[in-house]
Structure 1
Amino acid sequence: MSKAVITLETLSCPSCLKKIESAVKGLIGIDQNSVRGVFNVSKIRIDFDEKTLAIEDIEKVIKDLGYPVIKSKVKAA
């Protein structure tokens, strides 16, 4: 499992963050218990299997919801 921190543009409401968390949790390869959004800094932390899912795939799901991704940082566990 790899760990990622995805920084988003400033979110306007907590429900936006919940929508992003739900979409990310639906991806195959995500550790659903690891998905943690931090509203006040517009970041989401996740653990995922890089053999199953690429960080670009996770970013695409977020972007497809209409939320720009500023940057992603991935660390191998």
Structure 2
Amino acid sequence: MSQAIIQLGPVTCPSCIKKIESAVSKIDGVETVKVLFNSSKVKAEFDGNKTSGNDISETIQKLGYEVQSVKES
């Protein structure tokens, strides 16, 4: 199981959190996703054979949110 921590630009509303979590959870291979509102970070656990931190960040960017960095482990 791989993990990614994605730093976003400011997340300004609770509905943004639900929108991001919903979209990321639909990616094949994503096991868990949590948006941390106060720090504007997304933590995701996923199967590295099916997806990657970059795939997750691209999905978030397509929703219109700024991705500042991606750390994958």
Which amino acid is 1:2 matched to?
Answer: S
Deviations along 1:16-70, one digit per CA (max 9) or x if unpaired, are 1110000000000000xx2111101101111011111122111111000000100
RMSD after superposition: 0.8
User: What's 1:37 paired with?
Assistant: 35
Which amino acid is 1:46 matched to?
Answer: A
Contact kept? 2:8, 2:40, Cα under 8 Å = yes
Percent identical pairs in the alignment equals: 44
Give, in whole Å, the separation in 1 of the partners of 2:35 and 2:53. 16
User: What's 1:6 paired with?
Assistant: 6
Q: Does the alignment pair 1:24 with 2:24?
A: yes
User: What's 2:61 paired with?
Assistant: 63
**Structure 1, unaligned stretches of length 5 or more?**
none
Which one of 45, 50, 53 corresponds to residue 52 of structure 1?
Answer: 50
Number of equivalences: 73
TM superposition outliers: structure 1 runs of 4+ over 6 Å: none
Contact kept? 2:7, 2:68, Cα under 8 Å = yes
TM-score by length of 1: 0.89
TM-score by length of 2: 0.94
Contact kept? 2:34, 2:43, Cα under 8 Å = yes
